[in-house]
């Protein structure tokens, strides 16, 4: 009986490991490793049919990066603080969201060269995300 248990356990672990490794393809893995050579604790998720997201730690800081299924880097999201936002972003946010408590702030660098800033605000039981460009324009 123990023999069957260990055989079943071995098959289960082998299958789980194979599944965990198959969340991305070779092109995505190669592109990620080339761009983020010091990344550790990498975990992959599939965003949609043609996009993958890696959550990882680099130099002690958690980041996320998105890649197309062809291995093209799309964007990287890095945590920051409200104080480090560009003045125009802080001014625009404060003008339209007085008294709202900021939960988290992130800088998003896109492959297009554009930088966006995400500000998360707690509203009741839900979290609302606001996106601004570098000039302080609300995007979504």
Decide: 52 and 24 in contact? Cβ < 8 Å.
Answer: yes
Strand partners, 110: 75
Same-domain pairing of 61 and 95 = no
What does the pLDDT profile of the chain (140 residues) look like in tens digits?
555 444 444 444 444 433 444 488 999 999 999 999 999 999 999 989 899 999 999 999 999 999 999 999 999 999 999 999 999 999 999 999 988 889 999 999 999 999 999 999 998 889 999 999 999 999 97
Same-domain pairing of 63 and 41 = yes
- Which residue among 40, 55, 74 closes a domain? 74
What's the CATH code of the domain at 95?
Answer: 3.10.450.360
Range of the domain at 138: 81-140
Strand partners, 65: 54, 76
Per-residue pLDDT tens digits for 77-102: 999 999 999 999 999 999 999 888 89
Same-domain pairing of 118 and 94 = yes
* Angle at the Cα of 57 from the Cα atoms of 73 and 108, rounded to 5 degrees: 45
Query: What's the pTM?
Result: 0.76
Same-domain pairing of 89 and 134 = yes
DSSP string, the chain: -HHHHHHHHHHHHHHHHHHHHTTS-HHHHHHHHHH-TT-EEEEEEEEETTEEEEEEEETTEEEEEEEETTS-EEEEEEEE-GGGS-HHHHHHHHHHSTTPPEEEEEEEEETTS-EEEEEEEEETTEEEEEEEETT--B--
Radius of gyration of the chain (CA): 20
Same-domain pairing of 53 and 92 = no
């Amino acid at each position: 009986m123990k023999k069957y248990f260990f055989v079943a356990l071995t098959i289960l672990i082998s299958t789980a490991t194979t599944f965990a490794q198959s969340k991305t393809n070779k092109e995505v893995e190669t592109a990620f490793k080339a761009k983020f050579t010091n990344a550790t604790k990498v975990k992959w998720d599939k965003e949609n049919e043609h996009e993958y997201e890696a959550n990882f730690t680099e130099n002690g800081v958690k980041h996320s990066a998105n890649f197309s299924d062809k291995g093209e880097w799309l964007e990287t999201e890095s945590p920051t603080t409200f104080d480090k936002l560009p003045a125009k972003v802080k001014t625009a946010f404060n003008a339209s969201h007085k008294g709202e408590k900021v939960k988290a702030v992130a800088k998003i660098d896109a492959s297009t060269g554009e930088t966006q800033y995400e500000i998360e605000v707690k509203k009741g039981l839900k979290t609302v995300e606001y996106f601004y460009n570098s000039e302080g324009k609300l995007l979504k």
